Amino acid sequence: MDNKRKEMNAKLPDNAQEIILSTISCGVFTVDNNWQITSFNKAMTEITGIPERDALGRSCKEVLRGDICHGNCALRETIKTGNRIKDKPFELIDAQGVIKPVCISTAVFKAKDGTLLGGLETVRDLSVVTELRKTINKSYRLNDIVSRNHEMGRIFELLPKIAVTMSTVLIEGESGTGKELIARAVHSLSDRNRGPFIALNCAALPDSLLESELFGYRKGAFTDAKFDKKGRVDLAHGGTLFLDEIGDISSAFQAKLLRFLQDHTYEPLGSQRQYMSDVRVIAATNKNLSQQVKEGLFRDDLFFRLHVVKIELPPLRSRLEDIPLLIESFIRRFNAIQNKTITSFSQDALSIMMGYDYPGNIRELENVIEYAFILCDGTRILPQHLPVWLTGQGNDLKSGRFDPQIELKRLETSLIMKTLIQHDNNCEETARSLGIHKTTLYRKLKKLGIPAPVRKRN
C-alpha cells in the first residue's frame, strides 16, 4: 500500500497542493508555530475579502477578526491538546466590516519525529444557511442591517427589485436610521456591485465647493487649481453615486443637479466640454421633501426626478423589537474590535435600553453600547456601565415625535421587564402580578422582541 501511494504521489505535479487548494469551495489556511499565515486559498479570499498576498505572513487573528480569536481560539486548542475540532460555529469580520457566520474545523501539522510544524483550519461560509434560518424566524439581515420589524422586512423584500433597475432612489429617514447602509445594500445587490460606491454629504459643503467636489475641475479653473481633479461623478463611473442630505442644497445648486439628472451630462469647472456619466444615483435626506416643495424650499421638478423610487426608513422608537437584535449585533462587532468577551446586557440594563426614545436612532444606540464597552470589564453590561443621562427619558411631546401607540408600546415593554426583574424572571409569577395568563405574557414577550427570560440560579 505504501509503495502504491508513493507511485501515485510521484505522478502528481509539483503544484498539486496549490491546484487542490485553489479549486475546493471550502476556505483553507495554515499557520506556523508563531501563528503567522503560511498559505491562504482562493475560497478564503472570497470569504474574507482579503487577497492571499495581504494575508500571508500576518497573524490569523488579524485576518479573521472573529469573536473567538482573542479568547477561545479553536486552532490554539487543537495545537495545545492535539484534539481536532470539527464544524465549530464562528463569526468573522470580512474586509468590509461585515460579520459572516461560518463553521471551522482544525488539525495540526507534525514532522515524522513528532515535532509540531503548525496548524490548519478550514472555514465554511454559512451565510446562506443563516439567512434562510432568519427568514423562517421572521428576522431579517442584509449586510449590516438587522431587523424583526415588519416595515423593515417589507423594505428588505423591495431592495432586490429596486437594485436591478437604473431608477433613481430617494431614501427618507431621520438621522441615524441607516440611510447609507440601505444605499450600500442597493449597490451590492445590483449588477453594478463590482463598480465603486461613492458618497457625498451635500450638507457639509457650500455651493462653490459642492459643485467642484461633485463634477471636478480643470487646471486653472480658479486660483488654487494647480492640476485637474476628478469629481465624485467621475469617480463613481460604472457604479453608484450616493448623495446624502440632498434636502440641504441651495436653490441654485438644485438647478445644476437637475440638469445632471436629466441627461447624465456634466461639465467640470473650467472645462468647455461636456462629459457623459454612467452612474446610478441614490439620494437621501432627513427632511420631508414633499413638505419642502410645498414651502417653496425645494424644486418640484428636482423632487419628481429624485422621487422615482422612495424608501422611508422608520425611526428606532417605532421598531423597539429590533433593539435586542441590534444590541446582539453590536456586541459581536465591539467584541471583535476591542478584544473583549462581553456576552450580553443584564435584564435591568436591557430594560433601560428598551425604555429610551433614541432621538439619534441606531447611531445613538451604537454609541451607547460603545460607551458601555469602555466601562465594562466583565462579561455582562450592567446599568452602571450605561451613560448617566440614559434613564428617565422617553417619547418627547415637545420634539413633535410623540406617538401614543409608540409610547404605549414603550411603557408596556418597560413594565413587563421591570416586573420580570422583580420576580427573578419567573414568568408564572410575573403573569400573575400583571393580571394576565402566562401564555399571554409569552405572546407579548415575542411581539415586543424581549428575549426569553432566564432564571437566576442560587
pLDDT in tens, 206-217: 877 888 889 887
Per-residue pLDDT tens over the stretch 310-354: 999 999 988 888 888 899 888 988 888 888 888 889 888 888 888
In the chain, % helix, strand, coil (3-state, to 5) comes to 45, 20, 35
As annotated, the residues of the chain forming the CATH 1.10.8.60 domain(s) are 317-448
- The single-letter DSSP state of residue 315 is P
Name 102's bridge partners.
90, 125
Location of C-alpha cell 451565510: 127
- Please report which confidence band the pLDDT of residue 222 belongs to, taking 50, 70 and 90 as the band edges: low
Tell me which amino acid residue 21 is.
L
Question: At how many degrees (to 10) do helices 404-422 and 427-434 cross?
Answer: 130
Q: Is the pLDDT of residue 87 over 70?
A: yes
Q: Which fold has domain 317-448?
A: Helicase, Ruva Protein; domain 3 (1.10.8)
Nearest 5°: phi and psi at 266?
-155, 160
Q: Which fold has domain 138-312?
A: Rossmann fold (3.40.50)
Per-residue pLDDT tens over the stretch 24-79: 667 888 888 888 888 888 888 888 888 888 888 888 888 877 766 666 788 888 87
Beta carbons within 10 angstroms of residue 196's beta carbon: 15
To which H or E segment does residue 452 belong? Answer: none
Name 123's bridge partners.
27, 104
Per-residue pLDDT tens over the stretch 263-322: 888 888 777 788 888 999 999 999 999 999 999 999 999 999 998 899 999 999 888 888
Location of C-alpha cell 478564503: 44
As annotated, the residues of the chain forming the CATH 3.30.450.20 domain(s) are 21-127
- The single-letter DSSP state of residue 272 is S
C-alpha–C-alpha distance, residues 368 and 1, integer Å: 64
What is the residue-averaged pLDDT of the chain? 80
As annotated, the residues of the chain forming the CATH 3.40.50.300 domain(s) are 138-312
DSSP string over 186-230: HHHHSTTTTS-EEEEEGGGS-HHHHHHHHHEE-TTSSTT--S-EE
| Bridge pairing between strands 116-125 and 99-110 | antiparallel
Which residues make Cβ contacts (< 8 Å) with residue 393, sequence separation at least 6? 356, 357
CATH of 21-127, one of 3.30.450.20, 3.30.1490.190, 2.40.50.70, 3.30.43.10: 3.30.450.20
Count of all residues that appear for the chain in the document: 458
